[in-house]
Structure 1
């Protein structure tokens, strides 16, 4: 039987991650953290679904590998932006600069 409290908790995590992503869009670091929180809530929901239907958890490991790669790519973009512009504000970032 599917536990509705865990489903509600996962959906609450997902929605709060989206709200933080929409409201805190000034800094790249806060958007990256909220995206990682959204991925974590999706992983929790996926794990609950597989646990409910007694499936294997192999796909959750693949999902975690892709989420780690996404986090590493986001951090590398953050580091390169801080090195070139000095901060992580989106307002100071100009696409036309070399």
Structure 2
């Protein structure tokens, strides 16, 4: 059973790490940044679920984690929509805070 736990922790860690690589390398568009953040949350959820199942803990905590992840995604998409409506694109270079 330990090997299976290590396998899923390795899978989740590789998902989180690949999400970080995309987050660092593809930060030109806001949508790609949001996708990479959701991908990292998915990897953390994989690790979290298998740790909870392995140690026979309550899986209720995973529902709280998923609820917070959905709220984070909805907030990110609402910010994306408002920025695209105000600026016309989702490039980070066009979001200058100093402009009126």
TM-score of the superposed pair, with normalisation by structure 2: 0.94
After superposition, the C-alpha distances for 1:49-83 in whole angstroms (9 at most, x for unaligned) are 00110111010000000000000000000000000
Q: Please point out which of 21, 24, 34 is paired with 2:23.
A: 21
May I ask how many residue pairs the two structures share in their alignment? 98
Task: Note the aligned Cα RMSD (angstroms).
Answer: 0.8
Unaligned runs of 5+ in 2: none
Unaligned runs of 5+ in 1: none
Matches within 5 A, 1:29-68: 29-68=31-70
Moved beyond 6 Å, runs of 4+: none
Q: Which SS does the other structure have where 1:91 is aligned?
A: helix
Q: Greater share of helix residues, 1 or 2?
A: 2
